[in-house]
Chain A
Amino acid sequence: MSDVVPQARGAIALDAAACTSCMLCVKECPDWCIHIESHNEEVSEPGARRPRSVAVLDSFTIDWGLCMYCGICVEVCPFDALQWVSTHDYAAAEADGLRHGIARLEEFGPSDQR
């Protein structure tokens, strides 16, 4: 991979542990290129009166073939689960090969720009 300046907007990395499935990035994306699937689980904590409902992330997909690299998703994420990284060497032989799920999106991070 050729070296580029670290500020380059090469890709957006996901920190899945920080994602709460709040859907803000999905809703704000002008290209409709982010897809999230999640389900709710009840968590009982010691001392709490009632179990708490928590969203659990099942899948997080970005279609890089469609993404316009505007960074709105990075800006709106309240939990800093998305961030810019300079990675750029992920061309694909199929258009579908540009759809990346949680595993590949996490590989992009952690970032030197954090």
Chain B
Amino acid sequence: MTGADSPGRPDRGGSADSPGDYAADVAGEQREYAVAGRPDVRIHVRDLGLACCAVEFAAAIGRGLLVPAEPDSPGSAAVLVVSGTVTDALAPQVLAAWEALPEPKAAVSFGACSNSGGPYWDSYSVTKGVDRVIPVTTYVPGCPPRPEALVDALVSLVVPA
């Protein structure tokens, strides 16, 4: 939940009427990652973590599969990983986060919720796949997918299997 009245959380300028500026978070302050040990895979990966699949993204970092990207590496493509449940309320923020990324760019849908709505396929509030909001290059199956599945998908963006 978001809201300026929730104590102990940074104020993102959000309110009950606008759920906070996630686009700025993703496009601006957030760290970028690259695949460890694969200098040939020239990508800057950003995580749009919306639900529990974001834990698997974090696990990929924690286990050293993803490492912080070099800040200025020319020729790299931006990759947006949407990990978690996209709700209709948050869909405009997802679109804004995508549009804020520089070209060239690709979007990875990570996990069942982002792929299709997943367990929430019948929900009144969940978007039935992030591809209804932004163009998706690769769909990673899993509930959640393993960190290794994320790395495989990221590598396959650049190096066809």
Contact = CB atoms under 8 A, between A and B. Distances in A.
The answer on direct contact between A and B (beta carbons under 8 Å) is yes
B116 A95 contact: yes
A91 B148 contact: no
Given A32-B121, A90-B141, A2 B152 contact: yes
A8 B146 contact: yes
Interface string B115-152: 11111010000000101000011111111011011011
A91 B118 contact: no
B129 A88 contact: no
Q: For A2, A30, A63, which residue has the most chain B Cβ atoms within 10 angstroms?
A: A2
A17 interface: no
A65 B119 contact: no
A11 to B, nearest CB: 8
B152 A88 contact: yes
Interface residues of B, number: 27
Contacts of B131: 95
Contacts of B79: none
Nearest to A30: B119
B141 A68 contact: no
Contacts of A31: 118-119, 121
A2 B131 CA distance: 27
A4 interface: yes
A38 B116 CA distance: 27
Q: Is the interface of A mostly helix, strand, loop or mixed?
A: loop
Contacts of A63: 116
B16 interface: no
Interface in A7-36: 8, 10-11, 30-32
B45 interface: no
A48 interface: no
Interface string A28-66: 001110000000000000000000000000000001111
Interface of B: 65, 112, 115-119, 121, 129, 131, 136-143, 145-146, 148-149, 151-153, 156, 161
29 contacts: A1-B148, A1-B152, A2-B65, A10-B142, A10-B146, A10-B149, A11-B141, A63-B116, A66-B112, A66-B116, A66-B118, A68-B112, A68-B118, A88-B146, A88-B148, A88-B149, A88-B152, A89-B152, A89-B161, A90-B141, A91-B138, A91-B139, A92-B139, A94-B139, A95-B115, A95-B131, A95-B136, A95-B139, A98-B139
